Structure 1
Amino acid sequence: MATGPASKAKSKEADAIMPNLASVRRLEAVGFRAWPAASIQYDGSWQIRLTAGHPSKRLNSVNPLDPSDHLDIENRVERAARRFGAYDRPLVFRQSPLAPPQLEAFLDARGWRRFDETIVMAGAIADLDIDGGMDHLPMRDIGRYVDASIAVHGRDTALKAGLTEVLSSIRPPSGLFVIEDGLSGPVSTALCVHDNDMAGLFELATRADKRRGGYGRDVVRAALRWARHRGAEKAWLQVESHNPAAIGLYAALGFQEVYRYAYRQKPGHG
Structure 2
Amino acid sequence: MATTGADILSMHAQSTMNKLPLVRRLEAVGFRAWPASSVQYDGSWQVRLTAGHPSKRLNSVVPLDPSDYRDLDIRLAKAQRKFEAYGRPMVVRETPLASPMLIELLQHQGWTRFEETIVMTADLIDLELPDTLDHLPSHDIGRYVDASLLVDKADPMLKPALAEVVSGIKPPSGLFVIENDEAGPVATTLCVQDNDLAGIMSVSVVAEHRRKGLAIEILTSALRWARMRSARTAWLQVGAFNEPALALYARFGFREAYRYCYWRPAGEA
Normalised by the length of structure 2, the TM-score is: 0.94
- Cα deviation for residue 14 of structure 1 reads 3.6
* Other-structure match for 2:126: 127
Q: 1:110 to 1:181 in 2, by over 3 A?
A: same
Map of 2:187 onto structure 1: 188
CA positional deviation for 1:60: 0.4
Is the alpha carbon distance of 1:5 and 1:249 closer, same or farther for their aligned partners in structure 2, counting shifts above 3 Å?
farther
Once the two structures are superposed, residues 199-258 of structure 1 have per-residue CA deviations (whole angstroms, 9 ceiling, x without a partner) of 000122111111111111111110010011111111000001120100110011100000
Secondary structure, counterpart of 1:127 in structure 2:
coil
Q: Post-superposition shift, 1:129?
A: 3.7
1:143 maps to amino acid: G
Call closer, same or farther: CA 1:5–1:124 in 2, change over 3 Å.
Answer: farther
Compared with structure 1, are the counterparts of its residues 246 and 6 closer, same or farther at alpha carbon in structure 2 (3 Å cutoff)? farther
Does the 8 Å CA contact 2:95/2:259 hold for their aligned counterparts? yes
Note the residue ranges of structure 1 that are not aligned, 5 or more in a row: none
Aligned residues: 266
- For the residues of structure 1 that align with 2:239 and 2:60, how far apart are their CA atoms? 17
**Paired residue secondary structure (2:117):** strand
Match of 2:39 in 1: 40
In the alignment, the residues of structure 1 paired with residue 84 and residue 35 of structure 2 have an alpha-carbon distance, to the nearest angstrom, of 20
Aligned to 1:158: 157
CA distance 1:20–1:137, change in 2 (3 Å) = same
**2:86: which partner in 1?**
87
Q: Secondary structure at the match of 1:117?
A: strand
Cα distance between partner residues in 1 of 2:121 and 2:245: 14
Paired amino acid for 1:217: I
- The alpha-carbon distance between structure 1 residues 218 and 15, as it changes in their structure 2 partners (threshold 3 A), is farther
Structure 2: distance between partners of 1:263 and 1:48: 14
Cα separation, 2, equivalents of 1:84 and 1:91: 6
2:173 paired with 1:174: yes
Q: Quote the Cα distance in structure 2 between the aligned partners of 1:56 and 1:207.
A: 20
The letter of the residue matching 1:154 is K
Change (3 A) 1:187 1:90: same
**Superposition deviation, residue 175 in structure 1:** 0.4
- The whole-number CA distance in structure 2 between the counterparts of 1:141 and 1:246 is 27
Give the Cα–Cα distance (whole angstroms) in 2 for the partners of residues 147 and 262 of structure 1.
29
Alpha-carbon distance between aligned partners in 2 of 1:264 and 1:207, rounded to the nearest angstrom: 30
Report if the CA contact (8 A) 1:176-1:191 is conserved. Answer: yes
Superposition deviation, residue 4 in structure 1: 8.7
| Aligned-pair CA distance for 1:15 | 8.4
Contact 1:34 1:200 in 2 (8 A): yes
Q: Which runs of 5+ in 2 are unaligned?
A: none
**In 2, distance between residues paired with 1:192 and 1:4?**
48
Partner Cα separation in structure 2 for residue 6 and residue 79 of structure 1: 42
Q: Which runs of 4+ in 1 moved over 6 A?
A: 3-7
Secondary structure of 1:199's counterpart equals strand
Matched with 1:145 is 144
% identical equivalent positions: 54
In structure 1, the residue matched to 2:29 is 30
Q: Is the 8 A contact 1:149 1:203 kept in 2?
A: no
Amino acid corresponding to residue 92 of structure 2 in structure 1: F
Within 2, Cα distance between the matches of 1:255 and 1:237? Answer: 9
SS of the aligned residue for 1:226 comes to helix
Post-superposition Cα deviations, 1:26-48, rounded to whole Å, max 9, x if no partner, equal 00000000000000000000000
DSSP 3-state at the match of 1:20: helix
SS of equivalent to 1:159: helix
The offset of 1:6, in angstroms, is: 10
Distance 1:253 1:6 in 2: 38
2:201 alignment partner in structure 1? 202
Q: After TM superposition, give the deviation of residue 54 of structure 1 in Å.
A: 0.7
Structure-2 residue corresponding to 1:231: 230
Q: 1:136/1:15 Cα in 2 relative to 1: closer, same or farther (>3 Å)?
A: farther
CA distance in 2 between partners of 1:107 and 1:224 (Å): 39
The C-alpha deviation readout for 1:144-197, integer Å capped at 9, x for no partner, is: 100110011110101101000000000000000011122111111110001000
